[in-house]
Structure 1
Amino acid sequence: MGTSGYFYIRNDGTPIVASNDLSLKVDISNLANQQINNECNLLNSEIVITDGKGMKYYFGGIYNNLEVSYQMGTSLPSPAGQNPNYSISSWYLRKIEYPNNHTLEIEYLKYKKIDSNIEELYFGNFCRSTPPEHSTSGFVEELFDYNKYVNQEILRFNENSNNSLGGVRAWGDGSGFSFQSPYFQYTLTKKVFPAKIMLDGKTFVNFNYTRYNSLNNGYQSLKLNSVEIKNENTTVKKNDFNYYRNKDRFFLNTLTFPGNKKYTFDYYSKDNLPHETTYGIDFWGYWNGNSETSNYLIPPYSFNVDTGDYSITGTSRNPNPYLVNTGLLKNVTYPTGGNSEFHYEPHSYMRKVERNSASEFLPFLKSELGTVGGARISKIVDSDGINSYTRSFKYVLNYENGSDVSSGIASQTLRYMTYIDYKNQVGGRTRFLKETASNISENSLSSSPINYSEVVEFKNNVVQKKYVFTDYSTNPNVLHDRIGSVVFTEDVKPFSLVKNFPVRYNSNDFQRGKLLKTQIFKDGNIIQEVENNYTNLGTYSILQNSYFSRVKQLLSWVHHQKEYVYPYVLGSTTVRDYINGKVMVTKTDHYYKNDSKLNKIKEKTTYPSGDFYETNYQYLRDVLHASPNHPAGMVPPYAFLVNFFSKDLFSVPLVVTNYKNNKFLNRTQTLYEFTYSNDMYNVTLPRKKLYYTEEKNVTSISSLKLPDTNYGSVEITYDKYDDKGNLQQYTTKDGISTVIIWGYNQTKPIAKIENIKFSDIQPSLIDAIVNAANNDNQLGTVDSDQALMNVLDNFRNDLSLSKYQITTYTYDPFIGVRSITPPSGIRELYLYDSANRLEKVVDVDGKVLKEMKYNYKN
Structure 2
Amino acid sequence: MIKPIYFKMKKTKVCSAFKWTIMTVVLCLFNNIQAQGEQPTITSFSINSNIQSPNSASLGTYGAIPVSLYSGTAEVSIPIYQINEGNIPLDINLQHDASGVRVNSVPGWVGQNWSLQAGGLIQRSVKGRSADEFDVTRGNNNYNNLFPHFNYWDDYGNDCNNDYCSTILWPWWNQGYKYNMPILQRSNWSSAQNLYSIYLDSRKTYNPPGWFDGDYEWRNASSNALDLKKYQPDLEPDIFSFNFMGHTGKFFLGQDGQWKVASSSNLKVICDFSSDVVSPVSTPEYNYNSPPYSTPHVFTEKYREFPRVINKITMIDDNGNQFVFGYNEATELTFPDFFNQQYSPIISSAWYLKYVKNKFGSIIYEFEYEKGPYIGHFYLSYNKFSILNTGFYDSTLRYDFKAPGQLILPIYLKKIKTKAGLSIEMNSSISNSMKFKENDNAAFTLGTLNNNIYPSTNYNRQTYINDTFLGPYYFYRKLLDFTTLNPEWNAANDYFSLLKWKKLDNIAIKDANANNLLTADFNYINQPDRRLFLTGLSINTEQKYIFEYDRDNLLPNFLSSAVDHLGYFDGTPFTIPLTETNWSGYYNQRLTNPEAVKYGSLKKITYPTKGFTEFVYEPHSYSKEIDKNGVLINSVSEGIIGGLRIKKIINNDGFGNNYVKEYQYTTGINSNISSGNLLFKPLYYVSNINTASILSVPKTAYIYDINQLIPMVNLFGNTIEYETIIEKESYFNSSTSINNSGYNIYKYSNYSQFPDLAPLNTTVPDYNFKFPRTDKSFERGKLLEKMVYDNLGNLKQKSSFKYESNLDLKANAINIVIVDASYESYGSYNFDSRNERAMGAYQIYYSDKYLTEKTVSMYTAAGEITKLNKYTYKNYPLSLGTIANNGDLFKNTEYEQTVDGGIMKTYKYPFDFSSSIYNNMYNSRIISPVNGKTEFVIGDSNSPTSRTAISEEQTNFTEIVNNIGGVTQVPQAVLFKKGSSSAFQETLKVLNYDNEGNVLEFKSKEGKSVCLIWGYNKTKMIAKIENVSYNDVLPFVSNLQNLSNTGTQSNLIIALNNLRASLLSSMVTTYTYIPLFGVTTITDPRGDIITYTYDSFGRLKFVKDAQGNLLSENQYHYKNQ
CA–CA separation in structure 1 for the residues paired with 2:1033 and 2:1041: 13
CA–CA separation in structure 2 for the residues paired with 1:409 and 1:760: 70
Which residue, out of 315, 319, 326, partners 1:49? 315
1:453 matched to 2:730: no
Q: 1:423 to 1:530 in 2, by over 3 A?
A: closer
3-state SS of paired residue (1:475): coil
How far apart are 1:507 and its partner, in Å? 1.3
Render the CA deviation track for 1:628-680: whole Å, top value 9, x for unaligned. Answer: xxxxxx4xxxx52243144232x221111111112112211112213699977
Q: 1:644 to 1:89 in 2, by over 3 A?
A: same
User: What does residue range 114-513 of structure 1 map to in structure 2 within 5 Å?
Assistant: 142-158=372-388, 182-200=401-419, 204-212=423-431, 215=435, 216=437, 217-218=496-497, 219-236=499-516, 237-247=518-528, 249-258=531-540, 260-291=542-573, 295-296=574-575, 314-355=587-628, 361=629, 363-367=631-635, 368-400=637-669, 402-420=670-688, 422=690, 430-438=699-707, 442-443=712-713, 447-457=717-727, 458-460=729-731, 461-479=740-758, 482-483=760-761, 498=766, 500-513=768-781
3-state SS of paired residue (1:501): helix
Q: Partner amino acid for 1:263?
A: Y
3-state SS of paired residue (2:778): helix
3-state SS of paired residue (1:152): strand
Structure 1 residue aligned with 2:959: 674
3-state SS of paired residue (1:643): helix
Render the CA deviation track for 1:424-482: whole Å, top value 9, x for unaligned. Answer: 89999643212112399845995421112233332334335433322222332124x72
3-state SS of paired residue (2:912): helix
Unaligned regions of 5+ residues in structure 1, if any?
Answer: 112-141, 160-175, 304-309, 356-360, 488-495, 625-633, 698-710
Comparing 818-827 and 336-345, the one that deviates more: 818-827
3-state SS of paired residue (2:561): coil
Q: Partner amino acid for 2:952?
A: R
3-state SS of paired residue (2:526): strand
How far apart are 1:278 and its partner, in Å? 0.2
1:586 matched to 2:867: yes
Q: Partner amino acid for 1:150?
A: L
3-state SS of paired residue (2:917): helix
Contact 1:106 1:194 (8 Å CA) reproduced: no
Q: Partner amino acid for 2:721?
A: N
Q: 1:145 to 1:484 in 2, by over 3 A?
A: closer
Q: Partner amino acid for 2:247?
A: T
CA–CA separation in structure 2 for the residues paired with 1:280 and 1:22: 44
**Alignment RMSD, CA only?**
4.0
CA–CA separation in structure 2 for the residues paired with 1:221 and 1:104: 31
Structure 2 residue aligned with 1:701: none
Comparing 247-256 and 212-221, the one that deviates more: 212-221
Structure 1 residue aligned with 2:907: 617
CA–CA separation in structure 2 for the residues paired with 1:570 and 1:792: 51
CA–CA separation in structure 2 for the residues paired with 1:3 and 1:739: 35
CA–CA separation in structure 2 for the residues paired with 1:288 and 1:9: 40
1:67 matched to 2:328: no
Render the CA deviation track for 1:274-312: whole Å, top value 9, x for unaligned. Answer: 011000000001111113xxx236799989xxxxxx976
Which residue, out of 90, 101, 107, partners 2:350? 90
Structure 2 residue aligned with 1:549: 813
How far apart are 1:850 and its partner, in Å? 6.8
Q: Partner amino acid for 1:467?
A: Y
3-state SS of paired residue (2:379): strand
TM-score, normalised with respect to structure 2? 0.60
Give the count of matched residue pairs: 737
Structure 1 residue aligned with 2:850: 569
Render the CA deviation track for 1:315-364: whole Å, top value 9, x for unaligned. Answer: 32111111232222222222233222222221112211124xxxxx4522
How far apart are 1:371 and its partner, in Å? 1.0
Q: 1:690 to 1:177 in 2, by over 3 A?
A: closer
Comparing 223-232 and 805-814, the one that deviates more: 805-814
How far apart are 1:183 and its partner, in Å? 1.4
Q: 1:177 to 1:386 in 2, by over 3 A?
A: farther
How far apart are 1:734 and its partner, in Å? 0.7
CA–CA separation in structure 2 for the residues paired with 1:800 and 1:73: 71
Q: 1:108 to 1:762 in 2, by over 3 A?
A: closer
Comparing 725-734 and 412-421, the one that deviates more: 412-421
Which residue, out of 638, 649, 655, partners 2:931? 655
Render the CA deviation track for 1:673-699: whole Å, top value 9, x for unaligned. Answer: 1369997775232111111236689xx
CA–CA separation in structure 1 for the residues paired with 2:720 and 2:796: 30
1:745 matched to 2:1011: no
Q: Partner amino acid for 1:287?
A: F
3-state SS of paired residue (2:538): strand
Render the CA deviation track for 1:780-802: whole Å, top value 9, x for unaligned. Answer: xxxx4x66556655655x2633x
How far apart are 1:768 and its partner, in Å? 6.2
How far apart are 1:232 and its partner, in Å? 2.4
How far apart are 1:21 and its partner, in Å? 2.0
Render the CA deviation track for 1:3-57: whole Å, top value 9, x for unaligned. Answer: 2221232345433322212453444434549799957685553222223322222
Contact 2:785 2:801 (8 Å CA) reproduced: yes
Contact 1:590 1:603 (8 Å CA) reproduced: yes
Q: 1:568 to 1:746 in 2, by over 3 A?
A: same
CA–CA separation in structure 1 for the residues paired with 2:1042 and 2:838: 76
Contact 2:432 2:526 (8 Å CA) reproduced: no
Unaligned regions of 5+ residues in structure 2, if any?
Answer: 2-245, 283-303, 390-394, 438-495, 732-739, 820-835, 878-884, 938-946
How far apart are 1:73 and its partner, in Å? 5.0
How far apart are 1:410 and its partner, in Å? 0.9
Contact 2:957 2:973 (8 Å CA) reproduced: yes
Q: Partner amino acid for 2:264?
A: N
What's the % identity of the aligned pairs?
24
Q: Partner amino acid for 1:5?
A: G
Q: Partner amino acid for 2:336?
A: Q
Contact 2:381 2:706 (8 Å CA) reproduced: yes
Structure 1 residue aligned with 2:15: none
TM-score, normalised with respect to structure 1? 0.76
CA–CA separation in structure 2 for the residues paired with 1:623 and 1:836: 46
Which residue, out of 1023, 1028, 1031, partners 1:759? 1031
CA–CA separation in structure 2 for the residues paired with 1:556 and 1:146: 31
Contact 1:26 1:48 (8 Å CA) reproduced: yes
